[in-house]
């Protein structure tokens, strides 16, 4: 039962073949047994989970269930959840108990989903491996000596090991798609503005977007149906009619035009990943799609531009952590300035401090025009490249990560190598576009590889259609890590 898709779990709950309490106990038992070796969770709360499972059972009995009522889920630990520790993977917030719910958390509560725990992540969502977590690295269930990717590494590991059927994540530069690729799970980052950022601890506000991880495209559609939608408390939330993201899943792919950016298929892409992605594209061809080469001429500038803009926004967003209002405060200090300095030096890890320094520098008088403003101009060009490419195609396909998951520690001493993990995902964030990754094979060492599908703004239903049709013809998404049973 732990392996079933969300729709099958929902049917069993509705038909009273299993209660939400039984289902929740099943997953809590798996967490107790398997998570000590994975560290996918920062917090698990059995009492809270069982209480909401019982509430879901009452709702199911009353015939008032929705699609996800009674289904256990996890939230990445940067979604504020009332009464839950919300650490953001940081010592700064290690003891912070949120007094309110994020919009996303509210939406899942309203739908009757059962929150079992908060998933591990890179500190403040900065990272590609989960190694930057104050709570220790999460491990990849396919090979526990390797990273699950990041920053939503805990969510991805939890879904891959079937510790929960689905989880939320956020993607500022690739943090849903890259860990999905590394763990053989499915993950979607929706269009910027589709999911409210209210109550999501801010990293880089113009790039951050909440999304979901699950086993299949269909699962992702059901998750988005709950989490997406207008929220007036987020000024960048877009007011559009509610949509059913599952509406086009069954559509045949005949006539679909798939764009292949020539800048994605170069020597930067490892051969094993390229082989899997090319085979997946050939499969889309068998399903009726045609392919066309497209060009994203400014692709090489995406990582450098991101590492100006994201730290700039982070340095501003993280200024609120001053030891005064909430978060870590140093125990001894000489005066107010010393308290700020010590609290921030102790509360933030090395990568977060590096970003604050870089961000403060690029925003400072004399450098603002040369770095920040210049980066904003190139960001516009990167977005324009996609607009041009989408004249010739309906979706873009390519890799989600340049290689399979790497060993823990392999890139920790070289930040630039770590930053290059997001070579194929970051430009999507800079352009505000939606992107997803679904499993499409196994590369070196038998480790999972993801196929990335990128769509036009608000074209999630079509991307999910493409991914679902691919999953009807293949079974990569049904493979489980060895020893995970």
Residues that bind ligand GLN (CB under 6 A): 125-128, 151, 171-175, 203, 310, 422
Q: How far is the CB of 140 from ligand GLN (least distance, A)?
A: 16
* Residue 231 and residue 237 in contact, taking contact as beta carbons nearer than 8 Å: yes
Angle at 40 between CA 466 and CA 237, to 5 degrees: 50
Residue 76 annotated to the active site: yes
SS3 28: helix
Residue 412 annotated to the active site: no
How far apart are alpha carbons 478 and 101 in whole angstroms? 33
Nearer to ligand GLN, 56 or 310 (CB): 310
Nearer to ligand GLN, 6 or 138 (CB): 138
Q: Pick the catalytic residue: 20, 90, 129, 151?
A: 151
Nearer to ligand GLN, 127 or 154 (CB): 127
Nearer to ligand GLN, 152 or 465 (CB): 152
Residue 360: both structure tokens together: 């403060």
Number of Cβ within a 10 Å radius of residue 332: 7
Q: How far is the CB of 257 from ligand GLN (least distance, A)?
A: 28
Nearer to ligand GLN, 9 or 207 (CB): 207
How far apart are alpha carbons 31 and 29 in whole angstroms? 5
Q: Pick the catalytic residue: 98, 175, 181, 216?
A: 175
Nearer to ligand GLN, 20 or 155 (CB): 155
Q: How far is the CB of 153 from ligand GLN (least distance, A)?
A: 11
Buried b (16+ CB within 10 A) or exposed e, 349-385: bebbeebbebbbbbbeeeeeeebbeebeebbeebeeb
Q: How far is the CB of 311 from ligand GLN (least distance, A)?
A: 9
How far apart are alpha carbons 353 and 221 in whole angstroms? 37
* Torsion angle, alpha carbons of 270, 275, 280, 286, to 10: 150
Q: How far is the CB of 266 from ligand GLN (least distance, A)?
A: 20
How far apart are alpha carbons 80 and 97 in whole angstroms? 8
Starting at the edge strand that comes first in sequence, how are the strands of the sheet with 72-76 ordered? 41-44, 114-119, 72-76, 166-170, 210-214, 186-189, 435-442, 448-455, 395-399, 257-261, 290-294
For residue 68, CA distances in Å to 18, 20, 25, 114 come to: 14, 11, 17, 9
Q: How far is the CB of 171 from ligand GLN (least distance, A)?
A: 5
Angle, helices 302-317/350-362, rounded to nearest 10 degrees: 100
Angle at 237 between CA 235 and CA 241, to 5 degrees: 135
Q: How far is the CB of 104 from ligand GLN (least distance, A)?
A: 15
Compute CA 182 distance to the chain's CA centroid, rounded to the nearest angstrom.
Answer: 12
Q: Pick the catalytic residue: 19, 76, 155, 196?
A: 76
Buried b (16+ CB within 10 A) or exposed e, 138-157: bbbbbbbebbbbbbbbbbbb
Nearer to ligand GLN, 72 or 359 (CB): 359
Nearer to ligand GLN, 204 or 461 (CB): 204
How far apart are alpha carbons 215 and 476 in whole angstroms? 10
SS3 403: coil
Q: How far is the CB of 472 from ligand GLN (least distance, A)?
A: 29
Active site residues: 76, 151, 175
């Amino acid at each position: 039962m732990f392996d079933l898709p969300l729709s099958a779990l929902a049917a069993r709950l509705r038909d009273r073949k299993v209660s939400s309490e039984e289902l929740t106990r099943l997953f809590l038992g798996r967490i107790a047994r398997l998570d000590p070796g994975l560290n996918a969770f920062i917090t698990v709360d059995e009492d809270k989970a069982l209480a909401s499972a019982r509430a879901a059972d009452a709702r199911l009995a009353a015939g008032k269930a929705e699609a996800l009522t009674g289904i256990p889920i996890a939230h990445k630990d940067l979604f504020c959840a009332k009464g839950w520790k919300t650490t953001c993977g940081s010592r700064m917030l290690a003891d912070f108990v949120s007094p309110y719910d994020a919009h996303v958390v509210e939406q899942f509560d309203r739908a009757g989903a059962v929150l079992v725990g908060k998933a591990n992540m890179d500190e403040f969502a900065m990272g590609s491996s989960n190694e930057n977590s104050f709570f220790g690295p999460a491990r990849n269930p396919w090979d526990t000596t390797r990273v699950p990717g990041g920053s939503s590494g805990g969510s991805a590991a939890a879904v891959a090991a079937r510790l929960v059927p689905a989880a939320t994540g956020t993607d500022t530069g690739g943090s849903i798609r890259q860990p999905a690729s590394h763990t053989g799970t499915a993950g979607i980052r929706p269009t910027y503005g589709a999911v409210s950022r209210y109550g999501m601890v801010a990293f880089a506000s113009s790039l951050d977007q909440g999304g979901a991880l699950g086993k299949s495209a269909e699962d992702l559609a059901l998750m988005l149906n709950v989490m997406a939608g207008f929220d007036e408390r987020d000024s960048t939330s877009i007011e559009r009619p509610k949509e059913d993201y599952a509406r086009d899943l069954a559509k045949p792919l005949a006539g679909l035009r798939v764009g292949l950016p020539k800048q994605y298929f170069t020597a930067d892409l490892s051969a094993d990943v390229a082989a899997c992605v090319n085979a997946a594209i050939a499969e889309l061809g068998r399903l009726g799609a045609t392919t066309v080469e497209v060009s994203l001429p400014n692709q090489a500038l995406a990582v450098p531009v991101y590492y100006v803009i994201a730290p700039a926004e982070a340095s501003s967003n993280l200024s609120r952590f001053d030891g005064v209002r909430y978060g870590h405060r140093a125990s001894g200090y000489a005066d107010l300035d010393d308290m700020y300095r010590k609290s921030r030096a102790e509360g933030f890890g090395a990568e977060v401090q590096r970003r604050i320094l870089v961000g403060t520098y690029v925003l400072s008088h004399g450098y603002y025009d040369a770095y920040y403003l210049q980066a904003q101009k190139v960001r516009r060009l990167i977005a324009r490249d996609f607009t041009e490419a989408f004249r010739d195609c309906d979706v873009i396909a390519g890799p989600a990560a340049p290689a399979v998951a790497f060993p823990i520690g392999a890139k920790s001493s070289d930040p630039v190598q770590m930053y290059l993990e997001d070579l194929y995902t970051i430009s999507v964030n800079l352009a505000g576009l939606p992107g997803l990754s679904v499993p499409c094979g196994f590369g070196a060492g038998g480790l999972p590889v993801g196929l990335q599908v990128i769509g036009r703004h608000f074209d999630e239903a079509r991307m999910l259609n493409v991914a679902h049709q691919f999953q009807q013809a293949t079974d990569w998404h049904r493979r489980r890590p060895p020893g995970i049973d």
